[in-house]
Amino acid sequence: MTVSPGMQVNPAGIVAAGHPATADAAAQILEAGGNAFDAVIAGQFAACVAEPVLCSLGGGGFLLARPRGGPVQALDFFVQTPMRKRPAGDTEFLPIIADFGDAQQEFHIGLGSVATPGMVRGLFAAWRRFARLPMPVLLEPAVHLARDGVRVNALQAQAFRIVGAIYGHSEASRALFASPTRPGSLVVEGDRLQQTALADVLERLARDDGEDWFYTGEFAHQVADLCRRGGGHLELDDLRDYRARWREPLMLEYRGHRILTNPPPASGGLLSGFALRLLEASGPAPAVFGSADHLHRLARVMELTDRARLEAQAGGDAALDPAVLREAELLERYRRDIQGRPMAPRGTTHLSVIDAAGNVASLTSSNGEGCGVLIPDTGVMLNNMLGEQDLNPGGFFRWRENQRLTSMMAPTIVQQADGREVALGSGGSNRIRTAIVQALVNMLDFRMPLAAAVAAPRMHLEEGLLSVEAGFDDATALAPLLEAWPRHRVWSERSLFFGGVHAVARGDGGLDGAGDMRRGGIVRRAG
């Protein structure tokens, strides 16, 4: 892309993302005169090419946006359950095993696992409201990546290994993602992945009627026909009537700082806010990171938050503990706005951008793991959001029709008391909320630099199991923690299990960024 003389601002901005190609696409747009929203749109389209196991045009996500001098706005373009439900025996819905090495997990794939995608609607909605550059310019980096190929890095190769059963499910998918260097295998690290059919789709989206082509035109008819013949729920009116929704962000104060995050019907922002309120109510911040006080307090808050989540989902009385009772307002909103909605705790990726003018964008997205079936001649794999056991606790196919799924995804913007502004978010399924809370605590309570706040070791507590990442070196602090939670696992290394927080900041010190090494994090400065 040619940069016109005089269009650059020095520096133009900063990007943090989960893949170099994603970050490069966003930075390229900043250098071409685009704002943070142009950059996040271009970066997200590029992520659908470079991070195919985590995001796709067939998935969805959430954007938190603050235009310079304006309020923070939240855009929900997550997936929606279909309007009508086919009988279970008439669907393509089959289990596969994802192999994580030290653990295995069952997912369900096939056309019967597909929910209505929101990605394209969402990116076009953000473009209409905030962008400066034409959509063809924003799609250009993704088109080049798809047509010329993108080098598979270690993290993406690992993702393909874990869910190889999905990407090897159909003949078309096996052919698209086949390794050019290792016959009989899916792509491995170092391979160049070319997706020419997807490049054609992206170029088609760049035309004036591109969004309509996807939701009401030829592409929509292909999806509906394939689902009708192949055992899926989606019909033409599911795609035609899908809308991205602008919402009021959830706002809370934490120790004098303002935090704005993803509102209901997503659940991750509420649960993160709940945990922060409990931490603030527990007293002044601990003096030392990794101390016994810090670790015990953090684990206790995680335990209370998880208990409140489970009790609220069950419709019971979560206010069993005085600390939980103090946060009844957030809990009641959880019950009112989220209870009964299917949960989609799936693989995710995140992208944060701040430009030199002060526009801020934080976007988290997911395709689940993919349904295993490509829309013919497009290179697009739709999501498998209806194939998660947690989404169907009473048994599969019991989801409510025509309803937005809830999600742990929680893109967040922090306005610190000193005027510094931070955009962050995380991948990591159910660990998203604890990853974000710990990064915020490290930054706001322990006053760590952004990179250190993201890199510091983490914990996660869920349903009584405490997971502790390597890196907490004070054995005298760790021993009483493990004694208090006898159901625990201490990891021997840093792991993508604990999320991937990608963050950027703007303040008196200029622009700063941190990509989480757990999930291939990368920072790019533009200008």
Residues carrying an active site annotation: 348
Amino acid at 299: A
3-state secondary structure of 167: helix
**Angstrom distance (rounded) from CA 359 to CA 345:** 29
Query: The tokens of 24 are what?
Result: 């490069």
Structural element, H or E, at residue 109: strand 104-109
Length of the chain: 527
**Angstrom distance (rounded) from CA 347 to CA 370:** 10
Query: The tokens of 53 are what?
Result: 């196991």
CA-based torsion, 115, 436, 431, 434: positive or negative = negative
Give exposure, 271-286, as e/b (b: 16+ Cβ within 10 Å).
bbbbbbbbbbeeeebb
**Angstrom distance (rounded) from CA 91 to CA 88:** 6
3-state secondary structure of 150: strand
Query: The tokens of 32 are what?
Result: 């071409």
CA–CA distance from 7 to each of 34, 38, 83, 132, 511 (Å)? 9, 14, 47, 12, 19
Q: How many CA atoms lie within 13 A of 7 on its CB side?
A: 15
CB-based contact 512:14 (threshold 8 Å): yes
Give exposure, 184-212, as e/b (b: 16+ Cβ within 10 Å).
eebbbeebebbbebbbbbbbbbbeeebbe
388 known member of a binding site:
yes
**Angstrom distance (rounded) from CA 523 to CA 526:** 10
- Give the contacts of 403 (CB within 8 A, at least 6 positions apart): 80, 81, 341, 342
What is the full DSSP assignment across 251-301?
A: EEEETTEEEEEPPTT-SHHHHHHHHHHHHHHT-SPPSSTT-HHHHHHHHHH
332 known member of a binding site:
no
**Angstrom distance (rounded) from CA 12 to CA 27:** 8
Binding residues for L-glutamate: 388, 429
Binding residues: 388, 429
